[in-house]
Chain A
Amino acid sequence: QKEVEQDPGPLSVPEGAIVSLNCTYSNSAFQYFMWYRQYSRKGPELLMYTYSSGNKEDGRFTAQVDKSSKYISLFIRDSQPSDSATYLCAMRKGGAQKLVFGQGTRLTINP
């Protein structure tokens, strides 16, 4: 069983829709949670970073962490075609540098 599970999709939604992306994990030692966006043939770009449980909002993006359920989410409001990319969840233990990634969800926003 993988430490981090993420539905690979693909996920296709119309422009303007609210998108929900999710990951589950098995290791309760994870304390730091991140979402990266990766465009085709590019490196991952950090979108959101959250420590422990709670919500964090940045513009159209909201990240949620529920440590009791070992479940994290990324919501994208008013989705745009430019949001079309692969979204990777990542997490790490306290004091560790190693990031553990999910498989990535491929998202397409249709105009």
Chain B
Amino acid sequence: ETGVTQSPTHLIKTRGQQVTLRCSSQSGHNTVSWYQQALGQGPQFIFQYYREEENGRGNFPPRFSGLQFPNYSSELNVNALELDDSALYLCASSLEDRGDTQYFGPGTRLTVL
């Protein structure tokens, strides 16, 4: 186990709704990254937060946003859900000086109907 937890495990939403996914990093890890993994594909980088500030973003629209809190927890928010947002959402935490070792949580599976 990596010590990274995510909630909820599964979620079903309808198109146009908003969703918040949560992640709790390993203790001491001040960097969290979020990835989207579509079925049969590798994870795609959404963005990263370092010390509560966004520290890099992939090719995702602004309706994907995030927050990181001082207690090593973080959130991924997605507004105006689209059918293509259906995927496994993964968070990964890492130490400031060991960014190459990213520890992934089990993911939240989001289904948009």
Check if A and B associate.
yes
A interface vs B, CB < 8 Å?
A: 4, 6, 8, 32, 34, 36, 41-46, 49, 88, 90, 92, 96-104
Specify which chain A residues have a CB less than 8 angstroms from the CB of B90 in the assembled complex. Answer: 43-44
Q: Which residue of B lies closest to A88 (CB)?
A: B42
Q: Which residue of B lies closest to A92 (CB)?
A: B100
Interface residues in B, total, Cβ within 8 A = 29
Q: Which residue of B lies closest to A89 (CB)?
A: B42
Interface centre among A42, A44, A45, A100 (most CB of B within 10 A): A44
User: A43-B106, A44-B90 are contacts. A97–B31 as well, Cβ < 8 Å?
Assistant: yes
Interface centre among B33, B42, B44, B50 (most CB of A within 10 A): B42
User: A46-B103, A49-B101 are contacts. A104–B41 as well, Cβ < 8 Å?
Assistant: yes
- Complex CA gap A34/B50 in Å reads 22
Say yes or no: is B71 at the interface (Cβ < 8 Å to chain A): no
Cβ contact of A99, chosen from B2, B43, B55, B106, cutoff 8 A = B43
Cβ contact of B94, chosen from A4, A44, A97, cutoff 8 A = A97
Q: 0/1 per residue, B25-66, Cβ < 8 Å to A?
A: 000000101010000111111001010000110100000000
Known: A34-B100, A45-B104. 18 other contacts (CB 8 A): A4-B42, A41-B106, A43-B2, A43-B90, A43-B104, A43-B105, A43-B106, A44-B104, A88-B43, A92-B100, A97-B50, A97-B102, A98-B33, A98-B45, A98-B56, A99-B43, A99-B92, A104-B41
Q: 0/1 per residue, B6-26, Cβ < 8 Å to A?
A: 000000000000000000000
- Complex CA gap A103/B105 in Å reads 19
Closest chain B CB from A27 CB (angstroms)? 14
Specify which chain B residues have a CB less than 8 angstroms from the CB of A97 in the assembled complex. Answer: 31, 33, 48, 50, 55-56, 94, 99, 102
